């Protein structure tokens, strides 16, 4: 403290931009990161990595330089008790050897005679639905950027509600779903509900084997994401 105090000039304000350590821009998602890659030989990678919640367990092993996750939350500590994403776990998900955790992470390859697509996103339990919407988008003929930008909505059995991203369903669709008996959560409508304006951070690449063209899509919700196509033709023999 005494050392720090000596750096303060009591008579003159110090301009903030004289300090050397300007904050580094956020390059990655806080908890979960997804990469989708196809290289010039047609090799492909879909990887979703996570520390689970913000800063994981908040613990760094001394000298290791990385955060420990808090993935134990994806096991059911007590049967019938939801995890942080509201996903219900039972005895099959107990934190014991031979049991399975409730991961929603869904790094995905789609492959047909003519096309290969790689896609994935962070987003907890909503990941599965976001990836499914992306798969259906490709199936409907959307390009990679359109797939990454698709509006999102989600139902995960329990809680028995349809969650929606802001503006993803029209007021008319919400009205019709409610008339059918669905509970629809619209961000901002009811205070305290699990809802947020924008979900996920989809990264996706598509290779059209018929034309040999590559295309990339990066979620417009995350301004630091970037789709990079370094070659527009794969060299696959």
Q: Which residues bind ligand DON (CB under 6 A)?
A: 31-32, 50, 52, 71, 74, 103-105, 122-124, 127
- State the nearest-atom distance from the C-beta of 44 to ligand DON, in Å: 21
**Would you give the distance in Å from CA 86 to the centre of its chain?**
16
Residue 70 in contact with residue 133, Cβ under 8 Å? no
Rounded to whole angstroms, how far apart are CA atoms 3 and 128? 52
Minimum distance from residue 19 beta carbon to ligand DON (Å): 32
CB of 6 to ligand DON, least distance (A): 43
Cβ proximity to ligand DON: between 40 and 95 the closer is: 95
Toward ligand DON, which CB reaches closer, 124 or 134? 124
Residue 167 makes CB contacts below 8 A (sequence gap 6+) with 151
Cβ closer to ligand DON: 174 or 201? Answer: 201
Dihedral angle over CA of 198, 51, 160, 194, nearest 10? -50
Phi, psi for 82 (deg, rounded to 5): -70, 150
How many Cβ atoms from other residues are within 10 Å of residue 132's Cβ? 13
User: What residues are annotated to the active site?
Assistant: 32
What's the closest the beta carbon of residue 230 comes to ligand DON, in angstroms?
Answer: 28
- What whole-number distance in Å separates Cα of residue 2 and Cα of residue 34? 45
Nearest CB to ligand DON, comparing residues 204 and 206: 204
Q: Give 103's contacts (C-beta < 8 A, 6+ positions apart).
A: 74
Our CB check for ligand DON shows the closer of 50 and 195 to be 50
Least Å from the CB of residue 216 to ligand DON: 21
Q: How far apart are CA 119 and CA 11, in angstroms?
A: 57
Structure tokens at 120: 């994935």
- CA torsion sign for 168, 171, 173, 175 is positive
């Amino acid at each position: 403290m005494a050392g720090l105090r000596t750096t303060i000039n009591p008579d003159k304000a110090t301009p903030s931009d004289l300090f050397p350590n300007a904050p580094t821009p956020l390059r990655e998602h806080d908890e979960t990161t997804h990469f989708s890659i196809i290289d010039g030989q047609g090799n492909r990678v879909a990887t979703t990595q996570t520390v689970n919640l913000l800063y994981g367990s908040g613990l760094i092993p001394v000298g290791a330089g990385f955060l420990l996750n808090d993935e134990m939350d994806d096991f059911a500590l007590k049967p019938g008790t939801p995890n942080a994403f509201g996903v219900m776990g039972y005895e099959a998900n107990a934190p014991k050897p031979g049991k399975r955790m409730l991961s929603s992470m869904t790094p995905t390859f789609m492959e047909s005679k003519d096309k290969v697509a790689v896609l994935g996103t962070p987003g907890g339990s909503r990941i599965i639905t976001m990836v499914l919407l992306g798969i259906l988008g490709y199936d409907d003929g959307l390009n990679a950027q359109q797939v990454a930008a698709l509006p999102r909505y989600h139902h995960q059995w329990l809680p028995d509600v349809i969650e929606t991203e802001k503006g993803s369903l029209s007021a008319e669709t919400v009205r019709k779903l409610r008339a059918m008996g669905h509970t629809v959560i619209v961000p901002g409508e009811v205070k305290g509900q699990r809802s947020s304006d924008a979900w996920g951070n989809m990264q996706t690449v598509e290779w059209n084997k018929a034309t040999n063209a590559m295309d990339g899509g990066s979620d417009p919700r995350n301004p630091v994401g970037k789709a990079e196509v370094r070659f527009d033709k794969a060299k696959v023999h």
